[in-house]
Amino acid sequence: MKKIRQPAEPYRIKSVEPISLLSRPERLKRIREANYNVFKLDAADIYIDLLTDSGTGAMSTSQWAALMLGDETYAGARSFRKFEATVREIFRKKHVVPCHQGRVAENLVFSTILKPGQFVPNNTHFDTTRGNCLHKGGVPVDLPCKEASSIEPLPFKGNMDTERLEAFIKEQGVEAIPMVIMTITNNSSGGQPVSMANILEVSEICHRHNIPFFFDCARFAENAYFIKRDEPGYANKPIREIVAEMFDACDGAMMSAKKDGLANIGGFVALNNDMLYEQLTELLILIEGFPTYGGLAGRDLEVLSVGLREVMDFDYLDYRIEQVRYFGEMIKQAGMPIVEPTGGHALFVDAGRFLPHLPPEQFPAQGLTVAFYTEGCIRAVEIGSLMFGEEDPKTGTFTPARQELVRMALPRRVYTNSHIDYIAEVAQRIADSKESIPGYQIVRQPKYLRHFTCDLAAVNTEEVLS
């Protein structure tokens, strides 16, 4: 294998959590018992878990120390005041509404702002954003830029298509659009970043039409790093200044702080509008808790206040994004096509191109996901026709997903480059005998979000890779 530059970790390890590699017969037994659905595996079954980067990161010594400062007062806790000041300073908004994770922020905002039948444009809605919008009777509309579907490694493929946004506003009318959301980075589109130019353009369009402009900013610092690295004029700007410029362009933000909050739990809404703030807090008290804790413990708020600052450290971000790039290079060398360029938090392997012998209705990306487990005790997640494909109940016609991908998300500060090398070795072994990977069929499924709980079986074969 060609040697690729490996970024060295900008931290040393002070506390370790043992993980173990089950034997191959044990892995086969466990995946069979889980009916080939990796969501049904236990943590103890897994050596390297790449299911998500959400809430799975490692805290720093400063964060562990901050835990002890937690003030658990119900109303007016010191820990909240610190959190509120931190969020105000970084995200530059007047009001801060804490909540326990991102989807609650979405629920609060949509419950307050959205009337049934109204449209919510987004560069690409994340699943829970889409789900919450639909649940409140709204219509989620994805307006990704044209480059998003290109296989060329272009920068800022997470952008919104501003021409389509203008056209959409003209077509539906301002009254039908209570807000526009920009997801940074664009998780459902390969974790690709959004450029400052695009943020400013969308902001200008929204403000010209008097439409509130919000960020879904789970990975705001990773997005700012890409702007610094790839957008002309930003190379010499500190990350903090880039973040400030980004957030000055929006009216509010919803954040799942389980990502770039470097915490295991947490979220918030930050906004300027006084009336909206009043409405949000009324609902908050009903569904989450008093406005000075919002479903979190005081110690969680302390951890977040430290994490939201730490995440903007350039050395940390440089290592993080370089690690994902290194991971991508290693997997490509092993012979697997990936979505390029690599994004901020995950690698997306193109199983459709890797396993041409499997048609979409046999879920090639699930085949590859199962292979990563049986071959290496690694958990990834299918993002393809198992998650997004649809069968017409009347005609039985199958509509596949746009792409058959396997997402391998990297938890923050958790796995070293040796783990990445191990995953690449496993990928190589899989690639060497990829023709033997079977397709899968669903044998039992629930009505909604089937990928989480459905049971699967291999097609035309008694056993998987045995």
- Do 37 and 455 form a contact (C-beta atoms < 8 A)? yes
Measured between alpha carbons, how far is 184 from 122 in angstroms, rounded to an integer? Answer: 10
216 is catalytic: yes
To the nearest whole angstrom, how small is the minimum distance from the Cβ of residue 218 to ligand F0G?
4
Site size toward ligand F0G (CB under 6 A) is 15
Measured between alpha carbons, how far is 152 from 150 in angstroms, rounded to an integer? Answer: 5
Measured between alpha carbons, how far is 226 from 237 in angstroms, rounded to an integer? Answer: 12
Q: Which residue out of 36, 83, 126, 326 is catalytically annotated?
A: 126
To the nearest whole angstrom, how small is the minimum distance from the Cβ of residue 463 to ligand F0G?
30
- Do 198 and 159 form a contact (C-beta atoms < 8 A)? yes
- Per the structure block, which two tokens stand in for 350? 């193109």
Nearer to ligand F0G, 110 or 126 (CB): 126
74 is catalytic: yes
Binding mask 198-227 for ligand F0G (x = CB under 6 A): ------------------x-x---------
First to last CA, the chain: 27
Q: Which residue out of 142, 161, 216, 350 is catalytically annotated?
A: 216
Binding mask 290-309 for ligand F0G (x = CB under 6 A): --------------------
Question: In 3D, which of 220, 241, 419, 239 has the Cα closest to residue 315?
Answer: 239
Q: Which of 95, 130, 136, 258 binds ligand F0G (CB under 6 A)?
A: 258
Q: Which residue out of 259, 332, 345, 434 is catalytically annotated?
A: 259
Q: Which of 63, 187, 369, 374 binds ligand F0G (CB under 6 A)?
A: 187
Binding mask 87-126 for ligand F0G (x = CB under 6 A): --------------xxx----------------------x
Provide the CA 167 distance to its chain's centre, in angstroms.
Answer: 28
Q: Which residue is nearest to ligand F0G (CB)?
A: 102
Q: Which residue out of 58, 66, 148, 218 is catalytically annotated?
A: 218
- Do 181 and 105 form a contact (C-beta atoms < 8 A)? no
Nearer to ligand F0G, 6 or 453 (CB): 453
Q: Which of 112, 124, 128, 292 binds ligand F0G (CB under 6 A)?
A: 128
Nearer to ligand F0G, 216 or 350 (CB): 216
Task: For 283-417, list the strands marked E by DSSP.
Answer: 346-350, 378-379, 381-383, 390-391, 398-399, 405-409
Q: List CB contacts of 88: < 8 A, sequence separation 6 or more.
A: 94, 96, 270
- Do 145 and 183 form a contact (C-beta atoms < 8 A)? no
To the nearest whole angstrom, how small is the minimum distance from the Cβ of residue 110 to ligand F0G?
12
248 is catalytic: no
Q: Which of 118, 256, 281, 403 binds ligand F0G (CB under 6 A)?
A: 256
Q: List CB contacts of 349: < 8 A, sequence separation 6 or more.
A: 331, 336, 337, 338, 339, 365, 368, 380, 405, 406, 408
Q: What are phi and psi of 346, to 5 degrees?
A: -160, 160
Nearer to ligand F0G, 31 or 257 (CB): 257
To the nearest whole angstrom, how small is the minimum distance from the Cβ of residue 107 to ligand F0G?
9
Measured between alpha carbons, how far is 387 from 452 in angstroms, rounded to an integer? Answer: 9
127 is catalytic: yes
Contact residues: ligand F0G, CB under 6 A: 52, 54, 101-103, 126, 128-129, 183, 187, 216, 218, 256, 258, 267
Annotated catalytic sites, by residue? 74, 126-127, 216, 218, 259, 451
